Structures are given as structure tokens and as C-alpha cells.
Structure 1
Amino acid sequence: MAPHSRHQPVDPGMSVLTRAWPLAAAATLLASCASVPTPAPQASAALAPSDEVFYHVFNRSLRDSDGDGHGDLQGIIDSLDYLKELGVTSILLTPLYPSAFYHNYFASDFEGIDPEYGTMEDYHRLVAEVHKRGMKIYLDQEIQYVAYDHPWYTQSLGNPASPYSDFLVWRGPGNTQPDEGPFAIVVAKHWPDLETGITTLNMESPELKAYFDRYFLSWVDPNGDGDFSDGVDGFRIDHMMDNLDERDMHTNLFAEFWRPLFDKVRAVNPQVIFIAEQSDWGYGEDFLTRGDADYVFAFPLREAIRSFDKAKIVEAIRGTANATPQGKHQLIFIENHDMNRVASDEGMTPTRLRTAAALGILLQGTPLLYYGQELGMHGVQDMRFETDEKDIGIREAFEWEAEVEAPIHANWYRDPSKSYWTDKYSQSHDGISVEEQDGDPDSLLNFYRRLLDLRTKHPALSRGSLEVMESAPELLVVERKLDGERFHLVANLSDRMVNYQGPGQADLLGGSGRALAPYDIALFKLN
């Protein structure tokens, strides 16, 4: 393994296919999947997609359980009761596999768990604790590239006879020149002042496809016994593309790589969900149809909500609906690990922050919260950095306590010589922590709790139809309706006070009534 890696090297004498702890069971499952009966649904699987509420965890930043500064699996376990009480049903993790990169997106090995997160036993305990609470767990998989310290690379570099030679794309004779990675990256500089090469896998290799068939099944049914209660409920596919990086090298991947993989996993457990991060950040129709993903991310709606522009929001609502076939779904979100936090947007106010929250949760679709969003955590990408350090500001430690240096805070980026630490967004006693907001009925945290509670209690707000209603030019009015239950969600998207003249009585969001302040929002039950 390259000397810059943060992890222990893999024994090069061991085959990836033989040392993988669950893959033998997965291979048996794959061979006999046609005869596997559908098991009785587990508690976690009873949730319909429209009833789910996702919480996107940046693993390294959520909670530190052992004092090493890194968020870990036990820290996630320790956070589950808080998330359950918030109204979350589904946990979406960033990658767990070992990587030289702090975000774990370029694997040093697809097997096992990053040791800074814990062990495979810790992971199994996390799955058990999630399912015990009737919740779901989703894993993030980025499988189109590997880092130079991956055993497939180290064992086949200069060695065409390696069993992994066909797993990678080679340019030079005798496996001497690896292909570039995404965005034409060859060697990536990264935190903390290191660099690692990245290369592309051969997505056309039959052996590689077979490996990933077994690999995904190993997470779905770890011991191959047909009981999925100890397995993952779904996957996020990072940077999913049909023509990888638009290089015309690996084309038709929807039909020849992704759909066959999805089909094999669904043949074993039909309830497994696949979420596509569509690479173009568009409406995602192609990913839902030709790609056969179950979910995509509602990127255009996210941008429109944060614009507070009525016309853009209406256009994105309609575009999202038109792009979503029956039986497919959109994840509605307002921030994630790749973009500035909404609380740091120019002109943001507490009122706008609540309006963005309500639109992100009460519009049609499945809500996704990014960790700390419910507290109003701040963060902006710092483009002065030319490495993944630029994103640390939007991936800071979750603020459990008022003191930034609290032992459970995952301050893995602590470095007094770096501006992302000395100028960090989180500050002690700034009002942005669970400790400071938990008991305050007017806090943003409790506003999120109220929104998610309303969504749970009223199926019209989760499963209901949505119609944009005629209204005053300044007002966005949408109707959610199901089985005779009707609501109007009303947002004043102007800088002046506007009166809502439509039906409904008291504002269920706790506002003052029909006179909406600038950029305020209200929810009225019509019957």
C-alpha cells in the first residue's frame, strides 16, 4: 500500500475474491436467486417510499464515540434515538470502505470497513440497532474508480498476468500506464497534505461485473440465509452515468452494467432500493427509466427552493413531476455534502430558513435532510483550496453541545495551521447545537420536528397529490390532497407583507395567521 494511506495495507497474497468475508454466501445466493422465496417483510421494510424521511450522514463528522476525533459507527448508533425522535426513518451513509481520502469516495479496498469508523462487527451492530427501531439503512457505493493503493491496482501494475488485470483500464504496454480517473484526475492532492493516484475500472469486464454482483449481495444478505434483517435496505450509486465521464469509453452502462446488477440484487430481495446520484444534476428521468433506479435526487427543485423565486419553484415542481414515472421517486433536499449549506446563502434569515425547510419537507417527494441542517449549521466551500480541503467547511462536526471542543464532536480536521479550523463556521455558544435548541420551542430544530410530525400524522402531506393553485403573484400556494384530506401550503416569496385570501383556518406551522411576513410560510388544513 502507498505510504501516504491512513490505513493498514491489505495482504497482497490474499485474493480479494477469497478473503471477502461474505462473498461465498453471496455467490451461492446469486446462483440460486430464482428459487429464493420472498421473506416476510421486516419492520424496516414496511415503510413505503412516500413515508420515508432520509437523513444523509457524513460519517466522519456525525459523532465521535472513542475520542480519536473521527466520527464512527458507534457514534452513529449513539445518535439513532435523536434521529428517531426528530422524525427520521432512513439513514443514508457516505462510503464505509477503507480509503486514503477522508470522504472515502475512492476505495483503497472494497472489502471491510474503514478502521477509523470501526469494525465489521460494529457495522452489524449498527444495522441491528437501525432495524430494531423500525428504520432503514442505505450505503453509498462509488465503484467506477479506485485509488492507487487498491490491491487490484498494486497487483496488476506491470503484471498483465494478475487475476485483476482486466479489472482496470490500462493504456501502456504491459499494464504500465493506468487510465486517468474522473475529471481527468491522475494524482489527487487531498487532506491532510497528501496525494494519491486515482484510476478507472473496466466497467465492461465480465469478471468485474461478477465481482460487484456478489459484492452488493454480500451487503443485502451477509450470511446468505435468506433473512434480510441483518442486511442493508438500499444503496446510493455515486456519480451514476450511462457514458462514463462522457469519454465514449464505457458506454451503454445503464443496459449493460447497472440494470443487470440491480436485477440480480432485486431477484434475491425485491425490496432493495437503488438511489442514483444522476451525474448531470438534472431531473433524472433517464436514470429512472433506462437506468431503472428507484430514486433520483431532485436537483432542479433544490436550486429553485433556494432561489425563493416563485416561477422557478413552480417550473421545478412541474418538471420534477413530469420526469418521475409511476412507481419511481424523487428525493427532495435543500443541501448535501457537495454544496454550500443553505444557512450560509446570501440574504438568509431565520424566516427564509424555515420556509426552505417546509418546502423541502412538505412538497411532493421523499424528504432528505443533510446532517446538521435541522440546526441551521453554516458552511461554504472554500475555493482557495485546490484539494478536498475546500469542502471541509460544509462537512464540519455535527454540533451536539454548545462547546465546539466537546468530546463527542468529531473534529477530525482540527489543525491550528489551517484556515478551515481557525475560521471554522461552528463556534461555541452560537445557538447552533442540539443542547441549545432542544428545549426551545421556537428553535429551528423544533420547527423541523413539527414539520416531520405533521407529515407523519397526515398522509396527504406525504402520499397526497400536489397541485399548484392560482394565487396572488407573491404567493406560492400548493394543495396536497388525499382521501378527502386537503392542505394548502402557502409561501410568501416577496419582500413585503401579503395576505392569504384562500380557505383554511389556523396556521399549523405556528404562524400568526393569514398575514404572511416576507418570505414566510404557512400550512392551512382545509377540512
Structure 2
Amino acid sequence: MSIKHLTSESVRRCLHGVGYEIFVQSFFDSNGDGIGDLNGLRQKLNYLSDLGITVIWLMPIHPAKTYHKYDVEDYMDIHPNYGTIDDFRHLVNECHERGILLILDLVANHTSYDHPWFKQAQLNSVTNPYRDYYIWMDSERVQKLGLNAFDTPDANLVGLWHKVGPESEHFDWETFEKKSKTNISVNKDDRVTSKLHEKSLTNLKPEQTITNTYYALFDPRMPDLNYDCEHVQDEMCHIGRRWLELGVDGFRLDAAKYFYKPPRLKSNITWWTKFRNEMSRINPSVYLIGEVWDLSTQIAPYLRSFDSVFNFELADILISCILYEGNGSLMLKSYMKILNTYIKESDKKEVIDAIFLSNHDQNRVMSVFNNNLSKAKMAAALLLTLPGLPFIYYGEEIGMLGRKPYDKYRREPFLWSSTNCQGQTTWLESLYTKISNGCIPLDKQLEDSNSLVNHYKKLIHIRCQSDILCFGLLRPIITKIRCLCLFEREYNNKFIFIAHNIGSRRQCITIPEIYRQNKGKIIFSTQNENQIMNNGEFNLNEYSSIIIESD
């Protein structure tokens, strides 16, 4: 089957459109087994296209033991529950026919405990070529150093070093969390442990004697790969090339800062530059987006190798602004500082910043807002009017719920209908996203012009049809009114004025001169008062937005 490809200009426009993260297992089921699959996703491409999505990011789709599939057993294949390589080719082609890019989650920091490489690495021979694919340490040395935790936002509370055997192979997070939730916490003391960890791993070389204690940052079932081993680098480049040849447009690169232990910036950048060069040989327009869960100053250098990184710092600030109804100007100042840092540290003239509200590792936005529809709409309006490539977590557009302590309940089945419709995934009984909890299914929302999904749809289409909103620079307008967020976007000497009232009271705003009367056109408003007052003032209702384009 031949693969259809998009032109470089089409790729450019897609990367300035809107992204959508999908957990395939929870999306749409094509064969009635209750598990979402690739053909099910293909059946829903029209929905995503109508919504205005231009980039789809698939969470891991490879064979794996866990439900989340970040423990890859075979990088070259598709999980049998999800379909086949041919199903994947069809999906790629149908995405491209609709002008949608498809990127894959590449989990290259670690493998599954059951990956053939790790099975080979356990064999008792120091000459085993796969031994060097992983990181080993004598168990007595581990015990002496007391390395039990690591200072990271997605902290592994089980520890860093694990013994080969049934306890690690069959480790279960839910059981561990139930036993540990009352007596385990991450605190400042973990930073001390982290320093010991760094000292123990600096210039680490593979053990020359046989030991069965291996390093795994995130989970005992997911041993970390050793990127000081050139064979590992070659394997990952081969894997990346394989999927590009199958038509993938790029990769979301999981845990990108942890590839060298401890995180070594220079080594990480060198590796990712090599990976980028290898991928560019297959597809010069390849899109690489990294997960570097850190502050902007730590993220910025990775943009020398990546096209984008996820902006966790902005996501926290943006959600906080909406939640507490204030600091709109401070948010804009912070974002300008982040963008300037990115451009300076990456040596780039332009950065495609990957902005978002939440993802699969975080509590869903609607849960954070306690099911407040007005705040959910406000968050969407802010996200979709700022520069960058905004990513929507599947179901965010219909107000799906989900929160800790268990990850799977932040990845619940998409709620398509108020009835048990064909295609609804049932692999997990939803704990949060239920009609009884106030969740409104997609079919009902599509019938309501004021629904959350139609709010998203309208804003996405306005964004994607405007070069100013797609490509324009950010020009903050600072105000002392905490609940107002005012700014302009500029592109090719054309301007758009955007005002958001993130508070619960009406506010009077002054419209800049070039947008007044016949000089400006309202292209979006969440309220009925669509007339700018003669004196250039406008009453903006609570939790409302207005977008005005200059003539």
C-alpha cells in the first residue's frame, strides 16, 4: 500500500493548527470487544476533522503488558487489541487525505521487562551483547547508597534499583499505591536522595561482574536503556526510520530529559541531535516534540533538537489564572518571558511552542474546575488564542472528568452517546466521566449551540482560518484589573485584539483605536452585545471573550 504524504506547506500549516492527544484504547471500538482500536479511530476521523484538528498524537500503540502501554515489548509492531500494520497504514492515509498529521508516542527511555533485549540481558554472561543495553549495579552498593527515590514531577516512589525476579516482573502499581498512600509522600528530603543518585551514576559504566539489580526510573516493569551504549542508539534510530517509512509524520518523545543518568543536558542534546538528523534523512519535514517536564530555562536547550516541547510551566499558570480568576497580565508577562527564553537558548528565530491545559498524567481540567462549564470555556478560549500549537487531551472538548490517585481514571472511555451506542469502549467502567456526575455525552452537546464542544469547535475554526492567530506574535496589553487578560496578535503588519474576562463580574474595557467602529470587525464573542460603544469602551461580561480583527 502506497503512503500519501503532505506537502511541506501543508505540514507547516498543520503545525500551527491544533493538536489532539488520543489514548486509542478509550476512544472508539470497531469490532465490539470493548477496546478502542485503530479502525475505530479511523471511523472517527471525520469528527476530528470537523472539530478542526490538524495534528493527532497517539499514545503508545505497541505490544505491552500494562493498559497504558508505556512498557513496550516490541517497537516494530502494533498491539493486537489495536489492530495490524495494515490498519495503521490505512489510518495514516486517511489522516493525510484530511490534511491531518499523525505522530506516535515513542517510548525510548525504557523498555518492558518482557522485551527480548531485557530477557537476553538477564543471561549470566558478561559477554552478552544485550547486557550493555541496560544499567546494572551491585545490590550491596545500592543498599549502601540508599537510593530509593528521585526528584521528578512524576516521581517513582518504588525506588530506582530493582532485582530481576517475580517481584519486579509482576509489580502492580494499584496494589502498591493502596498500601502506600497513607505513609509515602514526596518531599524536600527526596532532593538529598537525588544528589546521592547523581553521584552514584556519574560516569557509570556497565558492571563487569554479574549482578541482577537494574535501574528503572519510572516502574520496576520498565528498565531504563543505557544510551552510553551505541547499539542502543542505533536500535532507536532504526525504529524511528521504520515508522517514518510507514508514513508517520513525527514523534512525541517520552521522558526526553532522562536518557542519561543522571539527566545530563549536553549528552541528551547530542543524542537528540543525532536522532533528528537520522529521522530527517527519511522525512525532511519530520516533527519532533519532546516531553521535558521542567521549567522553561531547563526546557529551552532541547529546542536545538526538537521542533516543540510541551509547556508545562504555562499550563500551570494558565489553569491557576482561571481557577483563581486573576493574574491575567502576569500570565502574559510570564509567557513572553518563556518565549524569549526559548528563542534565546535554542538559537531559533521561531519556536512552535506546544501549549496545553492537561494531559494523561494530570487531573483533567473539568475536574480541577469542579465541573464549572464557564471556567472550562474560559480555559479553552485562552488556550486557543495564544501563540503556539495548542494540544487538546481527548475528551477535554466535552468536559470529561478524571483525577488521581489512579492514572487509568484520567484515561477513561470517551463518552460518545447517552445510550450504549455501538463503538463505545467499555474496557474500563468510568468512575468520573458519567452522566450521573454531570457529564454530557458528545451527541447531546452537538445539538446544543452553547455546549462546550461547540465552543471549542468555533474557536478552533476561527484560529485555523486566521494567519494572525496561527502565526502571529504575542503583544500583551498590561492592565491593573486582575481578572482581565488583554493582548494583541500581529502577523505581516495585521492585528487582532483579544480580551478575556476570567472573573465573575462584568468589566469595562477600552478598545484600542485601530479596532473602533468601522476599523475593526468582531470575529468572535461569547456574549450578545456585539456593538463597540462610541467612546471605544466595551462591557465584557463575566467569563467572556471577544476577538476583534483590524481592517
What is the TM-score normalised by the length of structure 2? 0.77
Following the alignment from structure 2 to structure 1, what is the Cα–Cα distance between the partners of residues 380 and 333? 19
How many residues align structurally? Answer: 458
Counterpart code for 2:228 = E
Q: How does 1:143-158 map to 2 (within 5 A)?
A: 143-158=108-123
Out of 123, 128, 136, which is 1:162 matched to?
128
> Does residue 314 in structure 1 map to residue 332 in structure 2?
yes
Alignment pair present for 1:302 and 2:268: no
Aligned residue identity for 1:394: R
| Contact 1:148 1:197 (C-alpha < 8 Å) held by counterparts | yes
1:236 lines up with 2:252 in the alignment: yes
Q: Which residue of 1 aligns with 2:74?
A: 109
Please state whether the residue corresponding to 2:234 is helix, strand or coil.
Answer: helix
| Counterparts of 1:352 and 1:67, CA distance in 2 | 36
What are the Cα deviations for residues 308-353 of structure 1, in whole angstroms up to 9, with x where unaligned? Answer: 2324412332123113322331111111111111111246632221
1:397 to 2:361 alignment: no
Mark the runs of 5 or more structure 1 residues left unpaired by the alignment.
1-38, 223-230, 383-389, 415-420
Listed as ranges, the matches of 1:459-474 within 5 Å are: 459-471=467-479, 473-474=481-482
**Superposed counterparts of 1:364-443, under 5 Å:** 364-382=387-405, 390-403=406-419, 405-414=420-429, 421=430, 423-427=431-435, 430=438, 432-443=440-451
Task: Choose the corresponding residue for 2:461, options 453, 458, 465.
Answer: 453
| Larger displacement relative to structure 2 (338-347 or 140-149) | 338-347
Q: Is the 8 A contact 1:376 1:444 kept in 2?
A: yes
* Alignment-mate amino acid for residue 283 of structure 2: N
Q: Corresponding residue for 2:230?
A: 206
Write out per-residue CA displacement over residues 182-209 of structure 1, whole angstroms, 9 at most, x where no aligned residue.
8335434146999963312111111111
Retained in 1: the 8 A contact 2:21–2:392? yes
1:431/1:169 CA distance change after superposition, 3 Å? closer
Residues 316 and 457 of structure 1: CA distance in aligned 2, closer, same or farther (over 3 Å): same
CA distance in 2, matches of 1:323, 1:314: 14
Helix, strand or coil: the match of 2:111? strand
Whole-angstrom CA distance in 1 between matches of 2:79 and 2:370: 39
The answer as to 2:150 corresponding to 1:126 is: no
| Structure 1 contact 130–136 (Cα < 8 Å) conserved | yes
User: Quick one: structure 1 residues 449 and 515, their matched pair in 2 at CA, closer, same or farther if it must change by over 3 Å?
Assistant: same
Say yes or no: does 1:253 pair with 2:236: no
Amino acid at match of 1:295: S
Rounded to whole Å, the distance in 2 between the matches of 1:323 and 1:149 is 41
Measure, in 1, the Cα distance between the counterparts of 2:428 and 2:68.
Answer: 12
Preserved CA contact (<8 Å) 1:43 1:134: no
Distance in 1 between residues matched to 2:223 and 2:275, nearest whole Å: 22
2:500 maps to which residue? 491
Instruction: Give yes or no for contact 2:25–2:35 (8 Å, CA) kept in 1.
Output: yes
The offset of 1:431, in angstroms, is: 5.3
1:482 aligns with 2:487: no
**Cα 1:327–1:159, aligned 2, differ >3 Å: closer, same or farther?**
farther
Contact 1:276/1:295 (<8 A) preserved:
yes
Alpha-carbon offset, residue 242 of structure 1? 6.0
Distance across 2 between alignment mates of 1:444 and 1:40:
34
Residue of structure 2 equivalent to 1:63: 28
Are the equivalent residues in 1 in contact too, given 2:20–2:393 (CA < 8 A)?
A: yes
**Partner of 1:147: helix, strand, or coil?**
coil
Q: One-letter code of the match for 1:451?
A: L
In structure 2, the partner of 1:48 is 12
Name the residue aligned to 1:324: 342
Q: Which deviations, in whole Å up to 9, do the C-alpha atoms of 1:429-485 show, x marking residues without a partner? A: 945222001121111111111101111222111111210014452421110122343
Change (3 A) 1:129 1:40: closer
Residues 159 and 111 from structure 1, CA distance in 2 versus in 1: closer, same or farther, beyond 3 angstroms? farther
Give the counterpart letter for 1:210 in structure 2. Answer: D
AA in 1 matched with 2:332:
V
Say if 1:196 and 1:113 are closer, same or farther in 2 by CA, change over 3 A.
farther
Counterpart of 1:76, as a letter, is: L
Q: Deviations over 1:88-124 (max 9, x none)?
A: 0111000111111111112122221111111111111
Superposed displacement of residue 279, structure 1:
3.2
Identify if the C-alpha distance between structure 1 residues 298 and 358 changes in structure 2 by more than 3 Å, giving closer, same or farther. Answer: same
SS in 2 for 1:52: coil
For the Cα contact (< 8 Å) 1:108–1:151, is it kept in 2?
A: yes
Partners in 2 of 1:150 and 1:193 — Cα distance?
Answer: 23
Pair 1:523-2:547 in alignment: yes
Aligned: 1:340 with 2:363: yes
Aligned amino acid, residue 172 of structure 2: K
**AA matched with 1:47:** V
Report the residue type matching 1:254 in the other structure.
Answer: N
User: Following the alignment from structure 1 to structure 2, what is the Cα–Cα distance between the partners of residues 355 and 239?
Assistant: 30
- Give yes or no for contact 2:64–2:70 (8 Å, CA) kept in 1: yes
* 2:528 matched residue in structure 1: 512
Distance in 2 of aligned mates of 1:129 and 1:428: 36
Match of 2:239 in 1: 215
Matched residues in 2 for 1:281 and 1:410: separation?
36
Q: Which amino acid aligns with 1:189?
A: D
Given that residues 44 and 135 in structure 1 are in contact (C-alpha distance below 8 angstroms), is that contact kept between their aligned partners in structure 2? no
In structure 2, what is the equivalent of residue 30 of structure 1?
Answer: none
Work out the CA distance in 2 between the residues paired with 1:216 and 1:87: 28
SS at match of 2:547: strand
Q: CA deviation at 1:374?
A: 0.9
- Report the CA distance shift for 1:281/1:375 in structure 2 as closer, same or farther (over 3 A): farther
Match of 2:29, SS? coil
Which residue of structure 2 aligns with residue 11 of structure 1?
A: none
SS, match of residue 48 in structure 1: helix
Give 1:233 shift. Answer: 0.4
- In structure 2, list runs of 5 or more residues that go unmatched: 163-167, 178-218, 322-326, 344-348, 516-520, 530-537
With over 3 angstroms needed to count, the CA separation of the structure-2 counterparts of 1:322 and 1:204, relative to structure 1, is same
Distance (Å, rounded) in 2 between the aligned partners of 1:500 and 1:191: 51
Secondary structure of the residue aligned to 2:64 is coil
Other-structure match for 1:78: 43
The secondary structure found in structure 2 opposite 1:131 is: helix
- What residue is the counterpart of 1:262 in the other structure? 276
2:62 to 86, 92, 97: 97
